[in-house]
Structure formats: structure tokens, C-alpha cells
Amino acid sequence: MAGKSGKPKRLTLQEKLEAMRMLLTGSFATHVMRNFGVSSRLVTKLKSENAALLQAAEKNGRSLQSNSFRGVKFPEIDEKVNQFVELAISAKNPVTKDIIKERALLVKANILRREELGNTQRTQN
């Protein structure tokens, strides 16, 4: 995807590693494309440059185990939001950061509500 200047967006090494981490942990290519504003061609290139990216990261003192590559803090929310984004994209509905944020907050509220119901039922027994 081209930026405002018409040039394709260039990702930093850190962004490339994050995109690769997303792909390795099961994110869809379309999710990575939208998250970083890049083309499918770049995502394919990232997949093929996997070893070279890891080597470059090690050379720069970064690894997939560093703080910047912590696991997902809330995997259930991440999974549900990713599903929502994929469905929205497949239905050709627009997906913005605000929509994703709203969906994440809704999923969080549902999880908290479900946990409260579980706690209430346990205390009644």
C-alpha cells in the first residue's frame, strides 16, 4: 500500500519482526496487512525472509524473546477481535482502529460479565 507520497510503506526492523511474530502465532496475512498498512506482497516477502529477519534481529541485539515480543497479554480478547476483523474484511466492511478498540472493549466486558456470573454461581453453591 502506498503512503501519502505514493511510495510503498517501509517497515522498520522492529515492525518487520512484530509482523513476523503475528504471522508465526497464527494471525492472518490480511490482519497483518491492515495492522501495518502494507501490501500482501510485503507480507509474502516477510514470510520468505524469516531466517534473514531473525539473523538481523540477533545482530542488532534483539530477539523474539525480548520485551518487545512479549506474548499477547489477553489472548481471548485478541482471538475474538481477530475473528471479528477477519469477518468484517470478508464482508467488505470498513475496519478502523476505533471500531477495533470498541470491539475489544465489548469483548472485555463480556469476559468480565461471564467471570462475575461464574463467581456468583460458585458462592451460591
Spatial separation of the C-alpha atoms in residues 83 and 35, rounded to whole Å: 14
pLDDT-based confidence at residue 68 (cuts at 50, 70, 90): very low
pTM of the predicted model, to two decimals? 0.43
14-53 core/surface letters (b: 16 or more CB in 10 A; e: else):
eebbbbbbbbeeebbbebbbbbbebeeebbeebeeeeeeb
Kind and range of the H or E element at 87?
helix 75-90
Q: What's the pLDDT band for 61 if we cut at 50, 70, 90?
A: low
